[in-house]
Amino acid sequence: MIPRSLLPDRFTLGSPLQLLLLACSFALAGYAGVRLLAGGDTWWQVVLWFVGVALLHDLVLLPLYSAADRALIGAAGRRRSYVMYVRVPAVLSGLLLLVWFPLISGRVAERYLLATGRSADGFLARWLLITAVLFAGSALLLVRRLRRATKQRPPVVH
């Protein structure tokens, strides 16, 4: 028995133009796809990569950073307007780590040194320093805002 929510009220063919377009798209993707699968070590590894990156993103990376963001909002409590002061440097630092992970983590350090003649030691240090600057800058902005808010607040009348 299939749950009702999985079934549309009325299953139709849909737009014929859309069908033609998608058929054309699948044909081209198929033409390139057989070549893609013939090029790798083994075809199933390429399929695994193609589908795997999508699943890894949709079912691991996205839920993880969403959960981290919800935890941040929860921790902020009533001071929701402060969330961005943590979110912005965290997102920027995280993006740099995501893109340059092989260099920052040092996992390619040996090959990098041999190929380019330069040491990969600096990448981790530079990323940490950028991260420190981002959070410090954000903290300064928050302090400035808090000070301004304190000054503008009318004196308490007794």
Partner 1 sequence: MPDQRLPSSPGFWRSPVRGPWFTSVLGVVLLGGITLMFVTGLVSYAAYNPDLSPVNDTTPDKGLLGFYLFSWPSGPVWLYRLTQGVHVTLGVTLVPVLLAKLWSVVPRLFALPPARSVAHALERVSLLLLVGGALFEFTTGVLNIQLDYIFPGSFYPLHFYGAWVFFAAFVAHAVLKTPAAVRNLRRMRAGEPEAAAEGGMGVEEGDELVSPDPAEPTVSRRGALGLVGGGSALLLVTTAGQSLDGPLRETALLAPHGGGEPGSGPGGFQVNKTAAYAGIDPRETGGEVWRLVLTGRTGQVRLSRADLLQLPLHSSALPIACVEGWSTSNQWWRGVRLRDLAALVGHDDPVDVLVESVQRHGAFRRAALRANQVGDPLSLLALFVNGEDLTPDHGYPARVIMPAAPGVLNTKWVGRMTFGDLR
Does 49 participate in binding partner 1 (rule CB under 8 A)?
Answer: yes
Does 36 participate in binding partner 1 (rule CB under 8 A)?
Answer: yes
How far apart (Å, rounded) are the C-alpha atoms in residues 116 and 129?
A: 24
DSSP class per residue in 95-155? HHHHHTHHHHHTTTHHHHHHHHSS-STHHHHHHHHHHHHHHHHHHHHHHHHHHHHHHHSPP
Shortest spacing between CB 60 and partner 1, in angstroms: 12
Specify burial of residue 31 (Cβ count, 10 A radius: 0-12, 13-18, 19+).
exposed
Give the distance, in angstroms, between the CA of residue 56 and the centroid of all CA atoms in the same chain: 11
54, 60, 64, 143: which one binds partner 1 (CB under 8 A):
54
Q: Which is nearer to partner 1, 116 or 158 (CB)?
A: 116
Does 5 participate in binding partner 1 (rule CB under 8 A)?
Answer: yes
Shortest spacing between CB 157 and partner 1, in angstroms: 31
Task: From 47-55, 135-143, 145-153, give the range in contact with partner 1 by CB under 8 A.
Answer: 47-55
Site for partner 1 in 62-121 (CB under 8 A): 62, 73, 76, 80-81, 83-84, 87-88, 91-92, 95-96, 98-100, 102-104, 107-108, 111-112, 114-118
